[in-house]
Amino acid sequence: MQIEQSRIDELNAQLESGHKRNFEFYAASLTNVEAVIDKLIDFQVAIPSWALGAGGTRFGRFSIGGEPGNLEEKIEDVGLLHKLNQSSGAISLHIPWDIPSDAAKIRALAAHHGLVFDAMNSNTFQDQPGQKLSYKYGSLQNVDKGVRQQAVDHNLEVIKYGKELGSNSLTVWLSDGSSFPGQLNFRKAFQNTLEGLQDIYAGLPEDWKVFVEYKAFEPNFYSMSVGDWGQSLLYASKLGPKAFTLVDLGHHLPNANIEQIVSLLLMEKKLGGFHFNDSKYGDDDLTVGSMRPYQLFLIFRELVEGMNARGMNHAKDLGWMIDASHNIKDPLEDLLQSVEAIQIAYAQALLVDDKALDEARESNDVVRAQEILQQAFRTDVRSVVAEARRRSGAAIDPLGAYRAMKIRDILIGERGAVNKATGL
C-alpha cells in the first residue's frame, strides 16, 4: 500500500491550529529554533529490514499480521514510515535475509519510496541451509581456517550486493566468543578475527566504511571476541582509516557510561555509527527512549559537542540506524516512536547553552552545569519536531495518522494475518 500526500495534508489540517498554537508558544522561548528545525529536517534515521515483523524470544513469538514477506514488501513498509515522518529515508539490509533478486529493480523501488540503502549487515551468527561449515564455534575466530575463509567470503559477497544497491558501508557484528572458561585462547581468537577482518577490509571499495559492532554477551555468555568498545577500537585502529566502531546501545554491561564512550570514540575519529534502541537489562532491543530517555539525551549531547568540535555534518558523517526487535508492539508503531524519540533527544541536545555550560565547567560550578543540561532536557520540543515534519510534508502526528489510516488492517488485508517476515 502507499499513502497519498493528500491524506496526510487532510489529517494535518485537522491538527493545524492546535499545533500552530503549541509551536508558537514553545518557539517563542527558544533562541535557535529555526536552526534546530533545519537540522531535524536533514536528520535521517535508517530502518533495519529485520525489524518490520514481530520478533520473539526463545520462549515464543506472537505474529502481528500483515508482516512483509519479501524484500519488496520490507521496502514498502519503510516507505510508509518515511511518508509519515520524512525522517526514515534509508533502509539497512541483512544478508542473506534480504538478498536482492534483481538489484536494479530493488534500487528503483527504494528510490520510488524516497529511500537509499544504508549499511549492509553480514550474518555469520547462523548456519544457512546447505552451508558447508558451521559457525557453532565462531566464524572469524574459528580454529578451523576453512570456517574463517567461509566467513570472509560471505562478507565479501555482502559488499558485492551493497555495491549493486548503492550502499557504502558494511556492519560486521560477530557472535563469536566462548561460553565456558578454558574454551578459547583469547589471543589466538583475536589474531584470527583480526586477520579475517583485514581480508574483508581489503575487499572494501575506496569510498566504503566498515563498522565493527561490539557486544558484551549473547549468544556467548563467558566471552565475546568483540566484547566492548576497547576491543572494537583496537580492531578498527589496526585495520585502517576506513574502519570504525559501531555503538549498539543495548550491547553494554549494566550501568556502562555510554555517553562517555561515545565522546572518546568521536574524539579519536573512530566512531562510525549507532544502532539505537533501549533496554533495562540486556540486549532487549526495546523502543528507543522507552526506558532511559535521559541517557539518550546525554549521548546526543556528547555527539553534538563532539561533532561541532570537529566541524562534522551531523546528518551525513555518522551512521544513524535503529536496531530493534518487537515482541508485543506493532513494529511500524514502535519504529515511529523510536524515530520520534531520537529526534526529540537530538533537538534537546541542540538547545543546550554551550557557552554557559563551558563557563560552569571551567568554574567547577557542578550545580549550574546540571541545571543548564536539564533546562534543555526538560524543554518540551515535541511541537518543534512536529513543525519540522510539517515543513517537510510529513504528518504532524505520524502515529495518529498511522492509526487513523488503519494501515495495519490494510496490510493484514493485503498480506494475510500469519505470514512471518525474515529477520529476528
Interface residue list for ligand LRH (CB under 6 A): 50, 121, 173, 213, 215, 248, 275, 283, 323, 424
Residue 323 contacts Mn ion per CB under 5 A: yes
Cell of 40: 531535524
Residue (32 or 57) nearer to ligand LRH, CB: 57
Answer with the entry of ligand LRH, Mn ion, none that 121 interacts with (C-beta below 5 to 8 A by kind).
ligand LRH
To the nearest whole angstrom, how small is the minimum distance from the Cβ of residue 247 to Mn ion? 9
Site for Mn ion in 142-171 (CB under 5 A): none
Element (H, E) at 322: strand 319-322
Of the residues 118, 248, 278, 397, which one makes contact with Mn ion according to CB under 5 A: 248
Residue (25 or 221) nearer to ligand LRH, CB: 221
Element (H, E) at 306: helix 293-309
Tell me how far apart the alpha carbons of residues 312 and 334 are, in angstroms, rounded to a whole number.
30
To the nearest whole angstrom, how small is the minimum distance from the Cβ of residue 327 to ligand LRH? 14
Cell of 250: 543495548
Tell me how far apart the alpha carbons of residues 30 and 395 are, in angstroms, rounded to a whole number.
23
Tell me how far apart the alpha carbons of residues 335 and 331 are, in angstroms, rounded to a whole number.
6
Positive/negative CA dihedral, 339, 272, 379, 32: negative
Site for Mn ion in 23-62 (CB under 5 A): none
To the nearest whole angstrom, how small is the minimum distance from the Cβ of residue 399 to Mn ion? 24
Cell of 116: 537509499
To the nearest whole angstrom, how small is the minimum distance from the Cβ of residue 274 to ligand LRH? 11
Residue (275 or 389) nearer to Mn ion, CB: 275
Residue nearest to ligand LRH according to CB distances in the complex: 173
Residue 275 contacts Mn ion per CB under 5 A: yes
Site for Mn ion in 2-21 (CB under 5 A): none
Residue 283 contacts Mn ion per CB under 5 A: no
To the nearest whole angstrom, how small is the minimum distance from the Cβ of residue 201 to ligand LRH? 19
**Options 2-10, 178-186, 318-326, 357-365: segment touching Mn ion (CB under 5 A):** 318-326
Element (H, E) at 335: helix 331-351
Element (H, E) at 111: helix 103-112
| Residue 56 CB partners (closer than 8 Å, separation 6+) | 62, 325, 327, 424
- Residue 20 has a CB neighbour count (10 Å cut-off) of 14
Tell me how far apart the alpha carbons of residues 11 and 401 are, in angstroms, rounded to a whole number.
7
Residue (248 or 334) nearer to ligand LRH, CB: 248
Residue (224 or 239) nearer to ligand LRH, CB: 224
To the nearest whole angstrom, how small is the minimum distance from the Cβ of residue 212 to Mn ion? 12
To the nearest whole angstrom, how small is the minimum distance from the Cβ of residue 275 to ligand LRH? 5
Strand partners, 246: 213, 273
Element (H, E) at 275: strand 271-276
CA torsion, points 209, 340, 399, 51, in degrees to nearest 10?
30
Cα separation values, 54 from 71, 78, 89, 333, 412, Å: 16, 15, 22, 12, 13
Total residues at the site for Mn ion (CB under 5 A)?
3
To the nearest whole angstrom, how small is the minimum distance from the Cβ of residue 213 to ligand LRH? 5
Residue (84 or 93) nearer to ligand LRH, CB: 93
Answer with the entry of ligand LRH, Mn ion, none that 148 interacts with (C-beta below 5 to 8 A by kind).
none
To the nearest whole angstrom, how small is the minimum distance from the Cβ of residue 337 to ligand LRH? 19
Answer with the entry of ligand LRH, Mn ion, none that 283 interacts with (C-beta below 5 to 8 A by kind).
ligand LRH
**Options 270-278, 287-295, 403-411, 415-423: segment touching Mn ion (CB under 5 A):** 270-278
Tell me how far apart the alpha carbons of residues 13 and 10 are, in angstroms, rounded to a whole number.
5
Phi, psi (deg, nearest 5) at residue 329: -90, 155
Tell me how far apart the alpha carbons of residues 22 and 38 are, in angstroms, rounded to a whole number.
19
Task: Return residues touching Mn ion (CB under 5 A).
Answer: 248, 275, 323
